[in-house]
Amino acid sequence: MFILEGKAQIGNYIFNSLHDAEITKTVEELSDTATIKLPTKFKVRQNGQELFTEQALQVGDKVIITLGYQDKYSGVEFTGYVKKISAKTPLVITCEDAMWLLRRKSITRSFGSTTIKEVLKEVVKGTPIELDDNIPHFPLEKWILNKANGVQVLESFKKDLLMTAFITDEGKLYCGLKELTNIGQTVVYDLNYNLVENNLDYKSKNDRRIRIKFSYHGKDNKEQSIYVGDIDGEERTFKTSVVSDMNKLKEMANFELEKLKYDGFDGDVKSFLIPYATRGMKAKLIDNIHTNREGNYFINKVVTSFGRSGARRTVTIKNRL
């Protein structure tokens, strides 16, 4: 028998009774997020005093959410900070990972010839956040920060350089190409066995009609654009204000096209808490009926839900590996 266990440590208090919790981790967004529903009142174990939850907790309190099955699995699913407390019944606590700390930094500095890593060192300076070991070498001609917070710096890297940025499960800041976020771990799903739901859609490369528009916007607001892909395809637009070389733009456009056109699945599967999965892992799909459809895929997003109705992971895949 699988007996669910879930607790949330918030500030100085540990809540062993959660109404509901939902955790979202994705390489597409800067922040991992979590929402926790708690009783509006609780008793302090040491002295039996009854407190209103919204008065005992504060924005900025450290949050650790641990979920599992009794005697079978237990894992820290989220680490972060209280971002918002909504006085509802039950109480809703909105949380954000360590990006919460970077939002509170103000950075003013000019860089000459530099790299992404050097700018990121300034972003995390004065915080407990370390840089991930796998940040690629990416030169920058110059970079100017004028009263920008850490999140705004990362957003500019996403927008202008098409970088992915997020805090890893080890609490380190990664910034680089999405494909390089693969953490070298694999989760196996049998499409005919260990899934609650299968919402995957199989398409051939030819069925994926896609047209890429890649544009450079200069300081004079003039636009230069490159188009690659299928003329009749769904248009995907990418913009940069940093890369002006048209050959480089075409190379970047073809790179995006190659990622999007492939034979295989996209969509999501829903499983129980085990097997464990997080964004950046490789999902190995097994199909004993359609063996030609088996393959490895990049996990783009994982939403983990926990509550009185059970615990589930919704795992979204993109791009065949």
**Is 183 or 104 the better-scoring residue by pLDDT?**
104
Task: Assess whether 189 and 297 both reside in one domain.
Answer: yes
Residue 95 pLDDT greater than 90, yes or no: yes
- How many Cβ atoms from other residues are within 10 Å of residue 131's Cβ? 15
Task: Assess whether 187 and 296 both reside in one domain.
Answer: yes
DSSP labels for 140-185? ES-EEEEEE-HHHHHHHHHHHH--EEEE-TTSEEEEE-GGGG--S-
The Cα–Cα gap between 306 and 4 comes to 9
Task: Assess whether 54 and 152 both reside in one domain.
Answer: no
Task: Assess whether 256 and 291 both reside in one domain.
Answer: no
Residue 179 pLDDT greater than 70, yes or no: no
Q: Which of 79, 97, 115 is the last residue of a domain?
A: 97
Q: Which of 260, 276, 294 is the last residue of a domain?
A: 260
Q: What is the pLDDT of residues 182-240, one digit of tens each?
A: 677 899 999 988 799 999 998 888 888 999 888 887 776 777 888 888 888 888 888 87
Tokens 């509006």 belong to which residue?
40
Name which of 119-123, 166-170, 242-246 the model is least confident about. Answer: 242-246
Range of the domain at 149: 102-180
pLDDT-derived band at 46 (thresholds 50, 70, 90) equals: low
Q: What is the pLDDT of residues 247-296, one digit of tens each?
A: 888 888 888 888 888 888 889 999 999 999 999 899 999 988 888 888 99
Task: Assess whether 46 and 92 both reside in one domain.
Answer: yes
**From residue 141, how far is each of 111, 114, 135 by CA, in Å?**
8, 6, 18
